Amino acid sequence: MRIVMLGAPGSGKGTQAQRIQKEHGLPQISTGDLLRKAVADKTPLGLRAKSVMDAGELVPDDVVLGMIKGRIAARDAKRGFILDGFPRNTSQADSLDTLLATLDLKLDRVVLMDVDFDILMKRLTGRRTCSKTGAVLNIYFSSPAELEACKKAGGELVQRQDDNEDTIRNRLQVYERQTAPLIDYYTKKGLLKTVAATGEVDAVYSRLKSALGLK
């Protein structure tokens, strides 16, 4: 199954994609994670991307496409994958279509994670990632036990560089301007399903599985 997760920053794409990966073995391909790794490793690509990401703007299409091409062709993606954070504009969506066509593949489903904008700021300012386990947590919404588990594993709760109020505001505007048009784009192709992504993580996951026809 080849899935695209669409949704504003903080709508829970990463949280839910990690869970599908864990329970259904479909690899999560997150362009944000791939870019953050390149930044941390100080690769030429990472050095090019860092200031753009810190400002909350989109990294140039050619950079992202270069990363995606190799990743989609990798062995673990043969059975399918979940694209998290890609495509991000109509030009990337067209490029994805072309890329999949050359591999004789097509998308099965695009899921829109639908959350009211006023909730997103709290989710994003409260987000922390466990440095040891990579778990995506939240100081407002995760249980004390979940937060404690990271510390017990020897990790620290790390805040993303772009999760500050000014950058979040810009990321939300960039989403509205450049990514939201993909809702129409994939509706016209008959691929889009909308999932109400507010409420408990477990409840959202159940709705997501129904939308994808997963058990």
Cβ(156)–Cβ(134) below 8 Å: no
Nearer to ligand AP5 by Cβ, of 91 and 104: the residue is 91
48 is catalytic: no
For ligand AP5, the closer of residues 104 and 126 by Cβ is 126
Options 88, 123, 128, 207, the catalytic residue: 88
Is 127 marked active-site? yes
Phi, psi at 82, each rounded to 5°:
-120, 115
Q: Is the peptide bond before 87 cis (omega within 30 degrees of 0)?
A: yes
Binding site for ligand AP5 (CB under 6 A): 7, 9-15, 31-32, 35, 52-53, 56-59, 64, 85-86, 88, 92, 123-124, 126-127, 136-138, 141, 162, 171, 199, 201, 204
Residue 102 CB neighbour total at 10 angstroms? 9
**∠ Cα 92 128 114 (to 5°):** 45
Residue with tokens 């959202």: 204
Residue 173 CB, nearest approach to ligand AP5 (Å): 11
| 167-to-59, 60, 164 alpha-carbon distances in Å | 14, 18, 6
Q: How far is the CB of 142 from ligand AP5 (least distance, A)?
A: 6
Catalytic site includes residue 160? yes
Residue 30 bridge partners (DSSP): 84
Examine the residue annotation and report whether 88 is marked as an active-site residue of this protein.
yes
- Closer to ligand AP5 at the Cβ: 104 or 212? 212
Q: Shortest Cβ distance from residue 138 to ligand AP5 (Å)?
A: 3
Active site residues per annotation: 13, 88, 127, 160, 171
